[in-house]
Structure 1
Amino acid sequence: MLVGVTGGTGFVGAHSVAAIVRSGHKVRLLAREESRVAKALGPLQVDAKAVDVVVGDVTDEKVVAAFVKPADAVLHAASVYSFDSRDREAMARTNVRGTEVVLEAARKRGTPVTHVSSVGALFPSLSATIGPWSPIGKPKETYLATKAAADEVARRHQDEGAPVVITYPPALLGPHDPHLGDQNARLRDVLRGLMPFWPSGGLPLGDVRDTALMHAEAVTAPGGSRVFGPSHFLTTRAYLETVRAVTGRALPTLFLPAKAMFPIGKTADFVQRGWPWHIPAEYGALYTCAVAVPADDGAPTAGIAPREFTDTVTDSVRWLHRTGRLTARQAGTAAHTQIRKAMA
């Protein structure tokens, strides 16, 4: 099978490409810059002979039509995942317009497509849990709003009978993150001592490798289904406790009500528009912690059980240290364990 993949040089996309290739399929990759492909797929040991690269943007209708033409299935993973206020235009362009273009091109050819959404597209929810039956949310935050708008596009195609699978990954951690995305960057900021204040609430968290396995299954599944990424729902306190256990560090933290921190986040977002360095306090992250709910126990996950969250954090911290993004002191006992294994 030849699987067309958009967003294959990103965190979720690269791991999904690796899982698809390991499943015995070939990949046709749509990338804005061919130079990004080796950086994203090389660390995952993807066989270069199994990947064909088409250079172009997901919003270019002609390029996308040519990209989709020979594919037996498409995984649409292209998305800008960011709570940085400077990325608003890029999110609207890629997350919404890109989804419209890719799904329409696939539909015209009758090609099954798997659209990578987000659990955040279903927030805030009127129910205590979310599932495939959940309506699309009306979030008051830019990133989540663009994912909700893209989900509307995908569900419209489903309702009209197109072979579309929608996946709902949680917030993801894991090694080999080509661009150091939101969650791995936040973990690094915690261990660098840049986040002494945390909101109450919680969020669904998972391992990118589990979601990648789900995508390798989804591209061969019949259209029309909605699948949730394997995840654990953790309170922010439980998340920090896991990081402390993995690193052996105290990480003093003051927890505040999430909604009480909204003014801080909105102010930081305003300042961020003209400030060249990233500010860890983000309204979108605070908002997500305030409104997130877990996936229903019966939500389909392609039969993939989530790996232990402690293992995910351990692998993420070790990768951050190994790639020079954390010092040995910042990585704590996770780094020491890694050094001992390397010497064994």
Structure 2
Amino acid sequence: MLVSVTGGTGFVGAHSVAAAVRRGHRVRLLARDEAKAGRALAPLGVDLGAVDVVVGDVTDEASVRRVVRGADAVLHAASVYSFDSRRHAEMTRVNERGTEVVLDAARRHGAAPIVHVSTFGVLDPGEGRTVRAESAVGRPRERYMATKAAADRVARRHQAQGAPVTITYPPALLGPHDPNLGDQTTRLRNALRGLMPMWPLGGFPVGDVRDTAAFHMDLLETPGQGWHLTPGRYVSTRQYVSVLRQVTGRRLPAVFLPARAMLPVGLLTGAVQRVWPWHIPAEYGAVYTCVRDLRVDADPAARPVTETVGDAVGWLHRAGLLSDRQAGLAAGRPLPVPADRDELRKERR
């Protein structure tokens, strides 16, 4: 099967490409920089001979047509995931306009299925805090989530018109080999570097990028429509810090404050960040996520959070992004063989 992938040089996309190649599929991916594809995929053991790279951008209709033409299935994983206020315009362009261009082209070229990668943060739990795949799309008051909600409505419009579009809602994802050092991985690294002594109360669902990648491949091999939360489980910020202490063996002192009380700080740092050249760890989007405190039903197929975080910390250490002291017990942690983990995931399901 030929699978076309957007966002294949990102965290979710690269792991999904690796899962596709392991299952014997050919991959054609869209990337703005061909060399970046090799840098993102080679550490995952991907045979680059099984991957064809089309240079272009998700907002460019011509390059999108080239990447989806003749594809059996399409995975649209491209997006700007960031709570950095300097990237607001880019989020709107890529997340909203890019989704319109990609899904329209995939549909016109007859791909089936078409999997659109959304995020749990766009869902409205209604009464209570637990979101499910069938939950309505809300209107989050945070720019990244708002652009993803707009993209989700584009995907649901295609579904309503009968297109073979499936939408996935990954939790906050961690794991090894993050080619762009995205927001979640950066937040984990900053916590271990001592840059996050204060945490908002609340929490969020956490999952493993490798579980989400395997889940995407299951969907791409089964045409149809649907909505799916990818494997994960809810973790409070207290539990999150506890997991960090467990996998590193470090004390990691932390102060926990009511999330709503920290929102003004997040708004202030967001305003300052627009003119400040260096990244400020205290982000409005992260605090807002904890204020919403969305829950998911625990998925038995999700690997333990300690394993996910431990593998992420071990990879950060091997990549030279954490010192021996910062990584603690996770320094030099070996990673499991991907094929073995795929088999274990199937057993859990």
Structure 2 equivalent of residue 334 of structure 1: 330
Find runs of 4+ consecutive structure 1 residues off by over 2 angstroms. Answer: 123-128
| CA gap 1:260/1:161 in 2 versus in 1, 3 angstroms | same
Q: 1:106 and 1:274 mapped to 2: Cα distance?
A: 39
Q: 1:41 and 1:222 mapped to 2: Cα distance?
A: 26
Q: 1:183 and 1:258 mapped to 2: Cα distance?
A: 18
1:310 aligns with 2:294: no
How much has 1:66 moved relative to structure 2?
Answer: 2.1
> Contact 1:269/1:283 (CA < 8 Å) preserved in 2?
yes
Structure 2 equivalent of residue 29 of structure 1: 29
Q: 2:165 and 2:104 mapped to 1: Cα distance?
A: 11
Q: Which runs of 5+ in 2 are unaligned?
A: 335-349
Amino acid at match of 1:245: Q
Q: Which runs of 5+ in 1 are unaligned?
A: 339-344
Structure 1 equivalent of residue 68 of structure 2: 68
Structure 1 equivalent of residue 177 of structure 2: 176
Q: Percent identity?
A: 62
1:248 aligns with 2:244: no
Q: 2:245 and 2:222 mapped to 1: Cα distance?
A: 39
How much has 1:131 moved relative to structure 2?
Answer: 1.3
Q: 2:333 and 2:94 mapped to 1: Cα distance?
A: 40
Amino acid at match of 1:248: G
Structure 2 equivalent of residue 152 of structure 1: 153
> Contact 2:124/2:136 (CA < 8 Å) preserved in 1?
no
Structure 2 equivalent of residue 294 of structure 1: 295
1:303-331 residue CA offsets vs partner (Å, 9 max, x unmatched): x7000110111111111111111100111
> Contact 1:124/1:138 (CA < 8 Å) preserved in 2?
no
> Contact 1:125/1:137 (CA < 8 Å) preserved in 2?
no
Structure 2 equivalent of residue 341 of structure 1: none
Structure 2 equivalent of residue 78 of structure 1: 78
Amino acid at match of 2:273: Q
Structure 2 equivalent of residue 265 of structure 1: 266
How much has 1:336 moved relative to structure 2?
Answer: 6.4
Q: 1:252 and 1:166 mapped to 2: Cα distance?
A: 39
Number of residue-to-residue matches in the alignment: 333
Q: 2:275 and 2:196 mapped to 1: Cα distance?
A: 21
Q: 1:54 and 1:326 mapped to 2: Cα distance?
A: 34
Structure 2 equivalent of residue 196 of structure 1: 197
1:87 aligns with 2:100: no
Structure 1 equivalent of residue 186 of structure 2: 185
Q: 2:63 and 2:293 mapped to 1: Cα distance?
A: 37
* TM-score between the two structures when normalised by the length of structure 1: 0.94
1:106-126 residue CA offsets vs partner (Å, 9 max, x unmatched): 111221210001101114644
1:112-150 residue CA offsets vs partner (Å, 9 max, x unmatched): 210001101114644431112210011000000011000
Structure 1 equivalent of residue 345 of structure 2: none
